[in-house]
Amino acid sequence: MEKVDKEMLGVKIVEKLKTIYDPEIPVDIYELGLIYDVFVNENNDVKILMTLTSPNCPVVETLPVEVEEKIKTIDEVRNAEVEITFEPPWNQDLMSEEAKLELGFL
């Protein structure tokens, strides 16, 4: 297996995450602060630790699957897995300045 530049792969993963939107909020899940961490192991398996805006979020079943499927479309990624956590709970402070501006919080 060829050596993959982890930094470039990280950039590709973030770019892909920015194409996924929370259906209730017109901001991508990365800018919303829903992505807590991204891990890539030596086999290019990706694990994403993320949250949702609330435990009762209507996309609790579909959004993690969408994230996994989109990350798997990156050529260098062998496999992708999403783990949902509610610790710490999501709040508006986790949003990027861009997201806060978009939603009128600034």
Report the CATH number at residue 19: 3.30.300.130
DSSP 28: B
Q: Is 63 left (phi over 0), alpha (psi -120 to 50) or beta?
A: alpha
Q: What would the pLDDT profile of 23-82 be if each residue is shown by its tens digit?
A: 888 899 999 999 999 999 999 999 999 999 988 888 888 999 999 999 999 999 999 999
Alpha-carbon span 87 to 81, nearest angstrom: 18
User: Is 25 domain-assigned?
Assistant: yes
User: Is 44 domain-assigned?
Assistant: yes
Q: In the prediction, which pLDDT does 13 show?
A: 97
Q: Is the pLDDT of residue 1 over 60?
A: no
69 φ, ψ (degrees, to nearest 5): -60, -45
**pLDDT average, residue stretch 86-104:** 94
Alpha-carbon span 79 to 87, nearest angstrom: 25
Work out how many domains the chain is built from and give that number: 1
DSSP 90: P
Inter-residue contact 18 to 98 (CB < 8 Å): no
Model confidence, pTM: 0.91
